Structure formats: structure tokens, C-alpha cells
Amino acid sequence: MNPRFQFTALIFDMDGLMLDTERIARSAWQRAMSDWNATLPDALYLQLIGRDEQGTVAILQEAYGEEFPVRQVRQRKQQYFEEDIVRHGVPMKPGLMELLDLADALSQRKAVASSTETEPALRKLALAGIAGRFDAIVCGDQVQNGKPAPDIFLEAAARLGVAPEQCLVLEDSEPGVRAAHAAGMLAIMVPDLKPPSEDVEALAYRVLPSLHHVRAFLEETVGAARDDLPE
């Protein structure tokens, strides 16, 4: 692949990539599970990252049995999560605003493709003050198949009016990187709680440690003039 690759759109995951919410979600899950006298080991929680509701329910039912009230527990988890972000706000990942500014300076179209359902996703983006920074927002309940299926990224590209091969995906999760690859898109992975497995790392175009590094990488590879970039 030519290091000075061309793309016309950026597609951002949300939780764990732009918003530093995975630790809040983990705590909310653990509180909710304890309400049913159950525990959620970290290793099992990591399997939930990047999954939509259907995928989450399937993983937890396999672990705890068909009779375990997964959807009730998930609703309680969402209650605890909402209480936390209303009280304390939605933390953003370092470097996000600078990266969004760079995308604007480069005239890149931008979309969000999040496994979270529409209502809570829009609420989080609004609380973070970035909902208006995107040309399209696609959520997990708006597509038939969740990540690692490519549906959500293909829908985001369609809404942006951009061919899949002209999209660059930014993801923190393994299901997200697999979905981007299946959609025929390049993916830069910025791992959050879980480092990538060898096979997922091989699928990613780059694995970078932070959004600051993503910004620097894009400045260099796109070859934008320094004077045109935001300070």
C-alpha cells in the first residue's frame, strides 16, 4: 500500500475510540450483574467491546445460560451508565478535538459508526459537545448485522456518498477492525482496554497508541501543507 494513500472520508467508532467510556461501562456492567448476584470477569467484559445488543446478549447467554435475564441486566447497566455520565460528563479521548480539526482542514467528510443504539449514542455525543461535528451518524440499531459484519460501515459510506475504498476507519475494538476489513476499508486501530490479537493486528492498516498519533500520521501521509493545518 502506498503510504500516501488517498481517502475522502473518515469513519469514527465512538466508545473507546472518541469517548473514554469503556471503563464507565465496565463498572456499570459489574454493578448491574451484582444486582443479580453474578459477576462479570474482565476477560468476559472484553468480549463485549464493540458488540451491538444482539451480540452482547448472545455472548452473555452463552456464559450464564439461556435463563439468565441478560436484557434486564443490560437495561440496569444502561441506567447506571447514564447516571454516571449525567453526573460526571462524558470524557473524551486525548487528541480527539485536534483530530477533528485536522479532518476539517483537510475537507474530509466524517461519520460515526457506533454499535450503541441511536438514542444513547446521540445523547453521549451531545453531552460531549461533538454531535455537530459529523456529516452522518449510524448506530447499531440502524443496521441488520452488527460488527464484525460490515453493515454499519457500508451504511456510513452510503450516507456520506463515498465509495467504501475511499473511507478510512478509526477503531479501538477487534470486531470493529474486522468489520472495516470486511467492508473493504482501511482501518487504523487505537486500542483501548484490550490490545489486538495477532490476526486483528494484521488486518489493521496501522495500530497506533493514541489519537494524537493518528493525527500526526495523517498529517504526514496525506501530505497536507503545514500552513493549512490547525495549530
- In b/e form, how buried is each residue of 80-119, taking b as 16+ CB within 10 angstroms? bbeebbeeeebebbebbbbbbebbeebebbbbbbbbbeee
Given 15, 52, 151, 172, which residue is catalytic? 15
In the predicted structure, residue 227 carries a pLDDT above the cut 80 = no
In the predicted structure, residue 169 carries a pLDDT above the cut 70 = yes
pLDDT digits (tens, 9 = 90+) for 182-219: 999 999 999 999 899 999 999 999 999 999 999 999 99
Residue 99 φ/ψ region, left for φ over 0, alpha for ψ in the -120 to 50 degree band, beta for the rest: alpha
Residue at 33: amino acid letter: M
CA-CA distances (angstroms) from residue 137 to 33, 72, 171? 30, 27, 15
Determine what percent of the chain is predicted with pLDDT higher than 70: 94
Q: What is the pLDDT of residue 89?
A: 94
Helix locations, the chain, DSSP H = 22-35, 42-48, 53-64, 70-88, 96-105, 118-128, 151-160, 174-182, 198-203, 211-222
First to last CA, the chain: 29
pLDDT digits (tens, 9 = 90+) for 39-72: 999 999 999 988 888 999 999 999 999 999 999 9
- 151 assigned to active site: no
Given 13, 52, 172, 192, which residue is catalytic? 13
- 42 assigned to active site: no
CA-CA distances (angstroms) from residue 107 to 61, 104, 224? 44, 5, 11
**What whole-number distance in Å separates Cα of residue 26 and Cα of residue 12?**
21
